[in-house]
Structure 1
Amino acid sequence: MSKNYVIGFPRIGEKRELKKVLESFWSGEVDFNEVEYVANELKKRHWSYQKRAKVNFISSNDFSYYDNMLDTTILLGAIPKRFENLEDEELYFAMARGSKDCVAMEMTKWFNTNYHYIVPEISKNTTFKLNSKKVIEEYKQSKDLAINTKINLVGPITFLGLSKSIDNSDTYFHINSVVEEYCKLLEEISSFGSDVVVQFDEPLFVKDLDSKILSLIKPVYDKLSLVSTNIKIVVATYFEHSNEATKILVNTNIWALALDFVYGSKNFEVLEDIKASNKVLIAGVVDGRNVWKSDISKKVELLEKIAKVVNKENILVSTSCSLLHVPFTLEYELSLDKDIKSWLSFAKEKLVELKLISKVFFEEELTLEDKSLLKENEQSNRSRKESTKIHNKKIQNKINSLEILERKDIFEDRIKAQREYFKYEDLATTTIGSFPQTPEIRKNRRDFKASTISKDEYELNIKEYINDCISFQESIGLDVLVHGEPERNDMVEYFGELLEGFAFTKNAWVQSYGSRCVKPPLIFGDVSRENPMTVEWIKYAQSKTNKIVKGMLTGPVTILNWSFVRDDKPRNEVAKQIALAIANEVDDLQNAGIKMIQVDEAAFKEGYPLRKENIKEYENWAVENFKLSVSKAKIDTQIHTHMCYSQFNDIIKTIEAMDADVISIETARSGNELLKIFKEVGYKQEVGPGVYDIHSPRIPSVEEMVKQIEALLEVLPKEQLWINPDCGLKTRKWPEVKQSLENMVKAVNIVRENKK
């Protein structure tokens, strides 16, 4: 009998049902009972999909209202003191989003994905107290539906390793306390019967771990394994190999190891250790992070290679990681090019792939439907290889003949020319780029795409929005303005729609954080730019003001990292094609009189390899392609960039090498710690640290921002600092944006006056 396993499943819903009900709850339109009802219906539906696909191991507790790390913080009772007077959903969402009286917890990227998690806050005095309600209730829900789920938990070492110490103490000081709470949970779970599978996610194990952390693995998992003979423990790692940890885990009493053989090919090196231990190997061969259809014959070959070492009876066929990172289903993609659609596989389709791969691998009898699906899979993969839609000789030749790869002028000369040209004050105020995407502006784009309004009407509505944006920014006294991006659905999708080699979906949403979803483009072929993409709208905005208007572009590395990228060509080569397209756009903007241009690299850090041995190669081509994208900028054209959620200590030299004139960064949730590294290395370029958190609806006061700016001035001089929010404002509502930005400008004026 075939045996298969799914690490985890998307929770936002195939039509973003969870997103919609959460946002209705946050706006006061429905009560929390409605959120619970929708969530329960989604869980039932998602379990039933997997059951019908003959998945043997289906997850419970992979569902979350916001984030699994936040859920684990609640599970373990590690509530920061500022939230201690709150309860239930008010507590939960205040920790994630902030409240009137409480600043939200920090949020950052989940390894090298575009998913964000809420960072637990730990001090030496943190106490832990089990709150098992969610875990137990969800398991009981599945049992009531006659579905025996495994229970997914964030592993204790990953939980503490990804936590933030708020007093510089060692978060692992609490490892015994955290394990004790998990033991209590396992005892509770064991009462539900025998052979309950509990999956501990330990993705931290795929990173380069020091000996101290490695030394924790055996005692932790020995202790957890001994709680009950009723429980089978799985340790799941993904996104890379985890060889050092695996060599330790095989000597514990856990039942199984889940390893990623899509992104962690070096996991092959520990197969002999797994064989010797007689552990079950959960082999992740179906790509949980990308959308291209599996070549089933090749996946079976991969499994057969594994089975040459590990006994086939001890293998479960699995997804490489949770399917959280891919869209839900292809079913609603009715307008997608038929050839491209035939090359794709989303979460529900990957369940079918998993079933077929496991049936072929375990030599189970195939039905007529199975045989038909296998034939279709073979044809799809062949047609993709042979398609003329993928290759563009013209752009390949341009890339091969490139001569100018970076700006010729050094920063010291550029900044002098730029200061003379723009004449902006110290502590110059600006925003990151986008303004609120109102229901009206979204409808305007939808109606135009659906041809229910004319191009003239569409453009008139866009111009009115830009007019209002410019007028508002002038009225509060911002120094450098933006046009607000009303024509853009998304900072990557917008550009992809204007480039060759991209395809787009209607409903392929992926959760980024909380209710925030993104719809990544599909890079299926060679990329080229035929016409300007932003020039007319930026020129129009500049015509409405005498102040500086920034041109807004998305950088090549971010476009790459926030897309589903073709897997038949090296990523660095795809990035270079995008970089050339952006370079031509920069040139057109400056020739049109737009001399301050922001090339956002919000996702630069998240593309970093998880293993140090692979970092240098990534940094080299990522920096080269950013520099190529701005290589045509003249000496007095000022290049800005923006980075999200980056721990800069380990990449500050790489940021210097990018050689942008101004970098804006997210620091509002993490204070000045991120900024200090710029001072320590003698960073020359100008910096815009975010002075307030745009991911929370909370409006910071003038006094609060004055303190924040004064704190920034303790680190860097006013001549080097710009003042801005910490990210774009598209997800916020106008009332909070207006008040927050007005307070920001007032705060800057107070500080400027005090510094005279």
Structure 2
Amino acid sequence: MKTYAYGFPRLGKNREFKRLVEGFWDGKLSEKELLKGIEELDRKREEAYSKVDGHPTGEMTLYDHMVDQAVLFGLYTAKSLQEYFELCRGKNALHMRKWFNTNYHYLVPDFTGKELSLSDLPYPKWKRRSSNAYIIGPFTFVKLSRGVKEEEFKERVKEVAALTARFVKEMEFKSLHVDEPALALELSKEEWEVLKEAYEELAGTGIPVNLFTYYGSIDNLKELFELPVKGIGIDLIHDGGENLKQLREIESDKRLFAGVVDGRNVWRNDLFKTAEKLKELKWKFNTVITNAAPLFHLPVSFSGATLPEELLKKVAFAQEKLEELNLLVEVLEGETERAEEWVEGLKIPFGRIERVRERVAALKEEDFIRKPAYPERERVQKEALKLPLFPTTTIGSFPQTEEVRRIRLLRKKGKLSQEDYDTFIRGEIAKAIQIQEELGLDVLVHGEFERSDMVEYFAEKMKGIATTGNGWVISYGTRCYRPPIIYGDVERDGQMTVKEIGFAQSLTQKPVKGMLTGPTTIIAWSFVREDLPLREVAYQIALALKDEIADYEKEGIKIVQIDEPAIREKAPLKKREWKEYFDWAVKAFRLCHSSVKPETQIHTHMCYSEFSEIIEYILLMDFDVISIEATRSKGDIVEAFEKVNFDRQIGLGVWDIHSPYVPSVEEMEEIVKRALRVIPKEKFWVNPDCGLKTRRWEEVIPALRNLIKLALKLREEKQ
């Protein structure tokens, strides 16, 4: 059997991608130096692929594949790298959305009023006459874009397919690797017809096409195999067994790229079990062994990872996943020695905590219900907090300066005592409180200077979760994070955040929010154990957070924010599976706060979600205040709240913190006034759309000053 891999991380083992692109943004690298560095990084990716028989070319991007193809198809003009990056992070940056149910964000092209035509990218992404050139398929590209009405979807897909066909002929590609992950969604009969027409257009080029689907099962796999393509890539990991079941009923001479190595989770492959699956397939299809999803969801390599020895023997990152493909070939050929050594660690159990399992087993329905109901809580909280109309706040974090990162690294390396580190953090908190007081914010935050990441920080404070040290993964653009690994039963290892929040509250008479990351987001942004239902993992984490909130109340903290930015992202791709997922996700959130006092105000934060789809589930979470992103969508999110009886308080983000651009009072006001058509002024908060960790103080202070000017103006007008 042959092996094939795709989606190898562009980040680089030492985050070279981040340093190159940000170096260009900061003026430290010329365009020539940037492109030369990117070319060298791509060469290293090619070296990694040398372990397998085949892979795509043209997978490198300077920011995101969707924006690349949006420029290619003439939706936007980018004749220079400066213009290209303006689409990514400037004043007119494209809307950002999660890539299916992952923590990767993509930039959303907008077809509204646009005529398509082939255009050039301002950097060399594809090479002429390439073998197996990578593109996002026309169906997925249009399906994931904005500004395409239902009645024009077919024509837009045909347009993109025609331009794609013209492009690949002009480039004289020898073959194509086409990603169509949108085929894992629930598709209508009409959409399948659109797909067929698009691939008939591509087939007309005479260039062989290998079409890859992933992230789940395909509802109509037989019809997929009838498309005029050479090969089909299928996810046989996250399909719930559905794809394999359908393959047993299909007869085809097409090449099957069998996705049997997990590209989304870090656990080692049970090679011998997988080999049995491949033996069944190889007699029916011309089978190639491949990964079941792009490998960019994984860190580059576990070489140097700071993991317990028992855990190291259970995991594999991107480079090791490539090796697993070869190990599977060896098993199929009867060579089992290396494979037996590889899977030995899977047999070693560790991380079980009986008291945690007993606590989850003892949960009753009343443990998920907060009393009294919201109207009574709202009255009590209004009296207790005495906040003005249009209260102002931020989402949680403040700039993580070079000095903050340097001091945190010194502590991590053992070169700074815990006492000195704590003194430094208290100093940063004190500065942040002073800045917020001087600006005039109403609800303050401590700044999160002690936190490297909103999930990783809590992972370090909990049993049953490990952090990787160097396991970096791209979230969007150049922004990367290190997903922890949930390997065992989870509980608090003592107080996690109370010391810092309590100190901040001691410095001011204004309320300081206690900041926590919710259970579903911790799960979504971690690599999660697969031997326990996600429901139970979520409840374990929720109980740990519940204990933390109880300690907040003892410290006099009156507002607690439980962030759940990933609650939409984690939802299954097929809506018929939503009810089961949202049942445990909502209950896990409610479990965190169900026993707090009526006067304790519970906030949550979400970002870059399609809220209209999940608004009914959001309402069930029973928070008091929600803050959400609205800047890149220009306030379109309010449409979701027009359709329901939304009685809670809400803060729509009026400042896009993913861009260095400082918005004016007028620009912020445009978003607020649109929202106030739907949301009562008494329930409206004014805040940025996300945390300020990645921004600089010289951007933060003027933007917050404008935000507060807006709130004061609104109070004067609306009193």
Query: Of 400, 404, 409, which residue of structure 2 is paired with 1:437?
Result: 400
Instruction: Pick closer, same or farther for the CA change 1:30–1:614 going to 2, 3 Å.
Output: same
* 1:42 positional shift: 1.1
In the alignment, what sits opposite 1:198? 176
> Given that residues 710 and 751 in structure 1 are in contact (C-alpha distance below 8 angstroms), is that contact kept between their aligned partners in structure 2?
no
Q: TM-score, normalised by structure 2?
A: 0.97
* 1:532 positional shift: 1.2
> Given that residues 79 and 120 in structure 2 are in contact (C-alpha distance below 8 angstroms), is that contact kept between their aligned partners in structure 1?
no
In the alignment, what sits opposite 1:396? 357
* 1:168 positional shift: 8.8
> Given that residues 600 and 641 in structure 1 are in contact (C-alpha distance below 8 angstroms), is that contact kept between their aligned partners in structure 2?
yes
> Given that residues 368 and 591 in structure 2 are in contact (C-alpha distance below 8 angstroms), is that contact kept between their aligned partners in structure 1?
yes
Q: Which moved more, 1:16-25 or 1:352-361?
A: 352-361
Unaligned runs of 5+ in 2: none
In the alignment, what sits opposite 1:120? 109
> Given that residues 128 and 178 in structure 1 are in contact (C-alpha distance below 8 angstroms), is that contact kept between their aligned partners in structure 2?
no
> Given that residues 369 and 590 in structure 2 are in contact (C-alpha distance below 8 angstroms), is that contact kept between their aligned partners in structure 1?
yes
- Is 2:294 the counterpart of 1:322? yes
Letter paired with 2:4: Y
Unaligned runs of 5+ in 1: 144-148
In the alignment, what sits opposite 2:326? 355
* 1:74 positional shift: 1.8
CA distance in 2, matches of 1:205, 1:39: 31
CA distance in 2, matches of 1:125, 1:495: 45
* 1:130 positional shift: 4.2
Instruction: Pick closer, same or farther for the CA change 1:729–1:136 going to 2, 3 Å.
Output: closer
* 1:272 positional shift: 4.8
In the alignment, what sits opposite 2:212? 236
Q: Which moved more, 1:691-700 or 1:179-188?
A: 179-188
Letter paired with 2:109: P
Letter paired with 1:647: E
Instruction: Pick closer, same or farther for the CA change 1:613–1:478 going to 2, 3 Å.
Output: same
Query: Of 56, 62, 67, which residue of structure 1 is paired with 2:53?
Result: 56
* 1:273 positional shift: 5.8
> Given that residues 314 and 343 in structure 2 are in contact (C-alpha distance below 8 angstroms), is that contact kept between their aligned partners in structure 1?
no
Instruction: Pick closer, same or farther for the CA change 1:216–1:206 going to 2, 3 Å.
Output: same
In the alignment, what sits opposite 2:523? 560
Query: Of 117, 133, 143, which residue of structure 2 is paired with 1:161?
Result: 143
- Please state whether the residue corresponding to 2:486 is helix, strand or coil: strand
- Please state whether the residue corresponding to 1:242 is helix, strand or coil: coil
In the alignment, what sits opposite 2:237? 262
CA distance in 1, matches of 2:205, 2:34: 35
- Please state whether the residue corresponding to 2:103 is helix, strand or coil: coil
Query: Of 283, 304, 318, which residue of structure 2 is paired with 1:332?
Result: 304
CA distance in 1, matches of 2:34, 2:463: 41
Instruction: Pick closer, same or farther for the CA change 1:419–1:516 going to 2, 3 Å.
Output: same
> Given that residues 123 and 169 in structure 1 are in contact (C-alpha distance below 8 angstroms), is that contact kept between their aligned partners in structure 2?
no
Q: Which moved more, 1:514-523 or 1:173-182?
A: 173-182
In the alignment, what sits opposite 1:373? 338
Letter paired with 2:361: N
- Is 2:185 the counterpart of 1:181? no
CA distance in 1, matches of 2:117, 2:110: 12
In the alignment, what sits opposite 2:679? 716
- Is 2:126 the counterpart of 1:97? no
Letter paired with 1:288: G
> Given that residues 61 and 134 in structure 1 are in contact (C-alpha distance below 8 angstroms), is that contact kept between their aligned partners in structure 2?
no
Letter paired with 2:6: I
> Given that residues 184 and 218 in structure 2 are in contact (C-alpha distance below 8 angstroms), is that contact kept between their aligned partners in structure 1?
yes
Deviation digits for residues 440-470 of structure 1 (CA, Å, limit 9, x no counterpart): 1111111112221122211111111111111
Deviation digits for residues 608-638 of structure 1 (CA, Å, limit 9, x no counterpart): 0001221110000001110001122111100
CA distance in 2, matches of 1:531, 1:185: 59
* 1:336 positional shift: 2.1
- Please state whether the residue corresponding to 2:419 is helix, strand or coil: helix
CA distance in 2, matches of 1:212, 1:745: 50
> Given that residues 186 and 219 in structure 2 are in contact (C-alpha distance below 8 angstroms), is that contact kept between their aligned partners in structure 1?
no
CA distance in 2, matches of 1:350, 1:139: 30
- Is 2:345 the counterpart of 1:345? no
CA distance in 2, matches of 1:115, 1:731: 17
In the alignment, what sits opposite 2:133? 151
Instruction: Pick closer, same or farther for the CA change 1:132–1:427 going to 2, 3 Å.
Output: closer
Q: Which moved more, 1:514-523 or 1:167-176?
A: 167-176
- Is 2:415 the counterpart of 1:452? yes
* 1:4 positional shift: 1.1
> Given that residues 484 and 526 in structure 2 are in contact (C-alpha distance below 8 angstroms), is that contact kept between their aligned partners in structure 1?
yes
In the alignment, what sits opposite 1:146? none
- Please state whether the residue corresponding to 1:552 is helix, strand or coil: strand
Deviation digits for residues 336-376 of structure 1 (CA, Å, limit 9, x no counterpart): 21111111100000000011113323x2x74xxxx542121
CA distance in 2, matches of 1:118, 1:129: 19
Instruction: Pick closer, same or farther for the CA change 1:273–1:134 going to 2, 3 Å.
Output: farther
CA distance in 1, matches of 2:718, 2:592: 38
CA distance in 2, matches of 1:446, 1:698: 29
CA distance in 2, matches of 1:681, 1:259: 39
Instruction: Pick closer, same or farther for the CA change 1:133–1:27 going to 2, 3 Å.
Output: closer
Query: Of 614, 628, 631, which residue of structure 1 is paired with 2:591?
Result: 628
Instruction: Pick closer, same or farther for the CA change 1:137–1:645 going to 2, 3 Å.
Output: closer
Query: Of 524, 536, 540, which residue of structure 1 is paired with 2:503?
Result: 540
- Is 2:397 the counterpart of 1:405? no
Instruction: Pick closer, same or farther for the CA change 1:573–1:317 going to 2, 3 Å.
Output: same
* 1:125 positional shift: 3.5
Deviation digits for residues 632-673 of structure 1 (CA, Å, limit 9, x no counterpart): 211110000001111111111100100100011111111232
Kindly report which structure 2 residues correspond to 1:741-752, keeping only aligned pairs within 5 A, or say none: 741-752=704-715
Instruction: Pick closer, same or farther for the CA change 1:744–1:493 going to 2, 3 Å.
Output: same
CA distance in 2, matches of 1:571, 1:349: 26
- Is 2:187 the counterpart of 1:209? yes
In the alignment, what sits opposite 1:696? 659
CA distance in 2, matches of 1:167, 1:728: 33
When the two structures are aligned, how many residues end up with a matched partner? Answer: 716
- Please state whether the residue corresponding to 2:569 is helix, strand or coil: helix
- Please state whether the residue corresponding to 1:165 is helix, strand or coil: coil
In the alignment, what sits opposite 1:42? 41
In the alignment, what sits opposite 1:707? 670
Q: CA RMSD in A?
A: 1.7
- Please state whether the residue corresponding to 2:368 is helix, strand or coil: coil
CA distance in 2, matches of 1:134, 1:247: 39
CA distance in 1, matches of 2:125, 2:81: 18
In the alignment, what sits opposite 1:222? 200
CA distance in 2, matches of 1:94, 1:533: 39
> Given that residues 80 and 122 in structure 2 are in contact (C-alpha distance below 8 angstroms), is that contact kept between their aligned partners in structure 1?
no
* 1:428 positional shift: 0.6
Deviation digits for residues 718-750 of structure 1 (CA, Å, limit 9, x no counterpart): 101111000001011111011111110001111
Letter paired with 2:75: A
In the alignment, what sits opposite 2:261? 286
In the alignment, what sits opposite 1:70? 67
CA distance in 2, matches of 1:136, 1:438: 33
Letter paired with 1:270: Q
Kindly report which structure 2 residues correspond to 1:379-528, keeping only aligned pairs within 5 A, or say none: 379-383=344-348, 387=349, 389-403=350-364, 404-528=367-491
Deviation digits for residues 177-205 of structure 1 (CA, Å, limit 9, x no counterpart): 21221111221343x6xxx3311111111
- Please state whether the residue corresponding to 2:692 is helix, strand or coil: coil
> Given that residues 709 and 751 in structure 1 are in contact (C-alpha distance below 8 angstroms), is that contact kept between their aligned partners in structure 2?
no
CA distance in 1, matches of 2:121, 2:157: 18
